[in-house]
Structure 1
Amino acid sequence: MVKKEKKKITTKSIVMTGMFAAVLAVLSQIAIPMPSGVPVTLQTFAVALTGFVLGMKLGTAATAVYVMIGAVGAPVFAGFSGGLGILLGKTGGFIFGFLFMAPLCGLGVKKKNLVRTVLMPAAGLVICHLLGILQFSLLAQLGFAESALMVSVPYLIKDIVSVVMAYAAAAALRRGLRAANISITEAGA
């Protein structure tokens, strides 16, 4: 019987996870308020970057840390907001969607497969928007289509560009980390 080796959590992975949770918090503050209540932010870029650099597991961990810190009230969400009220409010579905987007971006970069590299982050973005639309729709008591036109459609091009830019930035970051002899083995790059 072959015993599977369990990977240890390293200090490096803890530090990288914390650093990217901080990156999420900082980039969330770059926000432009919109009439719908859903601001234009760099959160999508930050979540995709986190997944692309750290990979599925650590990217998910960093995003979960960010969400948990915000849930307990730290002002890490857009507009220096935090607390369960934000997560359970009209824009909270998008934040919950980040928990799917980060790992899917991480999966997209894990293998050198162009189709997977495009489809996985796209699926993450779709899930993020669907959860955002659904929660907004329920709380605003609007139909799905009307909600989508208010809180998703106007942001799609920005979010697609954000994911593409995050992929390019992550590739440069991974190259820099390799050059500094810092490996994040889980990222698979």
Structure 2
Amino acid sequence: MKTKNMVLTGMFTAVLAVLSIIQIPMPSGVPITLQTFAVALCGYVLGSKMGALSTFLYVLIGTVGVPVFAGMSAGIRVLVGPTGGFLFGFIPMAFLIGLSLKNNSKILPFVWGILGLAVCHLLGAIQFAIVTKTGFVASLLLVSVPYLVKDVLSVAGAVFVAIAIRRGLARANLMYNEQAA
């Protein structure tokens, strides 16, 4: 892996960590954060492999105790708790979103973004249902549906921010090259 790719991956792991800390608590226990935006940004800027790696590293450092999860929480208890499914879901979400870089379509980034978001919400709702012993449909209605508008807007916003970031990286000759990884 080239040094610039490692640095970009680390930088986006840090961006995800910073955007995860601020939260708005919700009655369901699943807070409102900028994590979805940050995960989408990782995928849209870094591509599928390195976007997923960046997100995996975020989950890993939070698991070992660095307080990078929502509300500066950390540890394995968060991963096995009611919101852990969303954290696990961020990894395939970033991977799927990163697949949109494989062509120059203006529509596919949004399609891959919605697909990645669906996987993340599905994993989050499944784990929430298991941990809280709530039915799956009730879990979806409690921890997925109320967040959909915010999350779709986050993914769409990440598309446009990523375009600007990728242009800046290209001008600085720092563009990530997924084939070199």
1:133-182 Cα offsets, whole Å, 9 max, x none, are 00000111111111111100000000000000001000000011111222
* Aligned equivalents of 2:171, 2:67: Cα separation in 1: 35
CA drift at 1:110: 2.5
* Between 117-126 and 28-37, the greater mean CA deviation after superposition: 117-126
Residue 45 (structure 1) aligned with residue 22 (structure 2)? no
Given candidates 125, 150, 165, the residue that maps to 1:158 is 150
* Between 124-133 and 173-182, the greater mean CA deviation after superposition: 173-182
Q: Cα RMSD (Å) of the superposition?
A: 1.1
* Aligned equivalents of 1:145, 1:61: Cα separation in 2: 31
Residue 167 (structure 1) aligned with residue 159 (structure 2)? yes
CA drift at 1:115: 4.5
Q: Which residue of 2 aligns with 1:74?
A: 66
TM-score by length of 1: 0.92
Given candidates 1, 5, 10, the residue that maps to 1:13 is 5
Given candidates 23, 35, 40, the residue that maps to 2:27 is 35
> Conserved in 1, the CA contact under 8 Å of 2:24 and 2:32?
yes
1:47-90 Cα offsets, whole Å, 9 max, x none, are 00000000011101111110100111110000000000000000
Aligned amino acid, residue 138 of structure 1: I
Q: Once the two structures are aligned, what percentage of the paired residues are identical?
A: 56
* Aligned equivalents of 1:54, 1:64: Cα separation in 2: 13
Q: Unpaired runs of 5+ in structure 2? A: none
List, as ranges, runs of 4+ consecutive aligned residues in structure 1 with deviation greater than 6 Å: none
* Aligned equivalents of 2:102, 2:65: Cα separation in 1: 33
Q: Which residue of 1 aligns with 2:76?
A: 84
Residue 111 (structure 1) aligned with residue 91 (structure 2)? no
3-state SS of 1:178 partner: helix
* Aligned equivalents of 2:101, 2:34: Cα separation in 1: 20
* Aligned equivalents of 2:7, 2:107: Cα separation in 1: 31
Given candidates 165, 170, 174, the residue that maps to 1:178 is 170
CA drift at 1:122: 1.1
Residue 146 (structure 1) aligned with residue 135 (structure 2)? no
3-state SS of 2:71 partner: coil
3-state SS of 2:70 partner: coil
* Aligned equivalents of 2:72, 2:120: Cα separation in 1: 21
**How many correspondences in the alignment?**
179
